[in-house]
């Protein structure tokens, strides 16, 4: 199975878990990774160049998915709208660009680790997940773990992930810090804003978003 890997900090706990899960099972269903930003992984998945990946929720609605997502209960810190005279989309994004349109807010959309670094620098911006929550009192689902094949493996692995608290090894945290220029303590703090459980409230938030698009 080829897995589409988005190397944003919000998926660091999942990637750590996946490596351990494969080793604990004495095998791994994943034979290769294809890396890229969300928009590129979306395209690869839709063209069946990858078998499974976290797919932007706006692109995932017609595909099978596990009970995992990238979810903001309130704020998310890494999906921002920066003040700008004209609306500008982030080419790495799909869902966040549409979210800005749904919320009728104008500015420059910025996502991922670049957005988090911008936020931590104290710059002015709107947190789009926070705006969504203020308006609808629902979590926002940015992506879903979708798959074309290996249904049993994906569903079982997802349930195991949700049951475990993933501890990120110090050396991996340091590597992530060096790659993003974000301090380890800020990475750990940021991850407290990320949920992966596609629970009832998250499903309601997803349904609401899709109904507005």
Q: Is the pLDDT of residue 28 over 80?
A: no
Percent of the chain with pLDDT over 90: 78
**62: confidence class by pLDDT, cuts 50, 70, 90:** confident
- Average pLDDT of the segment spanning 39-61: 93
Check residue 200 and give its pLDDT. 97
**1: confidence class by pLDDT, cuts 50, 70, 90:** confident
pLDDT digits 0-9 by tens, 80-137: 999 887 888 999 898 999 999 999 999 999 999 999 999 999 999 999 999 999 999 9
Task: Please identify, in words, the CATH class of the domain defined by 2-212.
Answer: alpha beta
- Per domain, the residue ranges of the chain are 2-212
| 3-state secondary structure (DSSP) of residue 153 | helix
Check residue 31 and give its pLDDT. 58
Predicted TM-score (pTM) of this structure: 0.92
Q: Is the pLDDT of residue 158 over 90?
A: yes
Q: Kindly calculate the radius of gyration of the chain based on its CA atoms and give it in whole angstroms.
A: 17
Check residue 26 and give its pLDDT. 44
- Tokens 């080829």: give the residue: 2
Q: Is the pLDDT of residue 27 over 70?
A: no
Check residue 22 and give its pLDDT. 64
Complete DSSP assignment for 72-100: ESS--SSEEEE--SS-B--TT-SHHHHHH
Q: How many CB atoms lie within 10 A of CB 179?
A: 11
Q: Is the pLDDT of residue 23 over 80?
A: no
Check residue 25 and give its pLDDT. 53
């Amino acid at each position: 199975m080829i897995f589409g890997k988005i190397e944003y900090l919000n998926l660091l706990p999942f990637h750590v878990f996946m490596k351990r899960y494969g080793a604990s099972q004495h095998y791994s269903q994943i034979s290769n990774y294809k890396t890229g930003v969300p928009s590129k992984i979306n395209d690869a998945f839709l063209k069946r160049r990858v078998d499974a990946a976290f797919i932007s929720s706006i692109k995932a609605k017609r595909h099978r998915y596990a009970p995992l997502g990238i979810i903001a209960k309130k704020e998310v810190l890494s999906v921002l709208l920066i003040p700008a005279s004209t609306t500008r989309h982030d080419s790495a994004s799909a869902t966040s660009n549409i979210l800005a349109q749904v919320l009728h807010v104008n500015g420059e959309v910025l996502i991922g680790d670049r957005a988090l670094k911008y936020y931590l620098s104290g710059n002015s911006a709107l947190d789009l997940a926070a705006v969504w929550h203020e308006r609808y009192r629902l979590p926002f689902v940015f992506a879903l773990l979708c798959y074309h094949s290996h249904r049993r493996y994906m569903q079982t692995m997802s349930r195991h992930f949700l049951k475990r608290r993933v501890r990120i090894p110090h050396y991996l945290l340091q590597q992530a810090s060096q790659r993003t220029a974000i301090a380890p303590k800020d990475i750990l703090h940021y991850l407290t804003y990320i949920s992966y459980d596609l629970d009832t409230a998250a499903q309601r938030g997803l349904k609401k978003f899709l109904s507005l698009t």
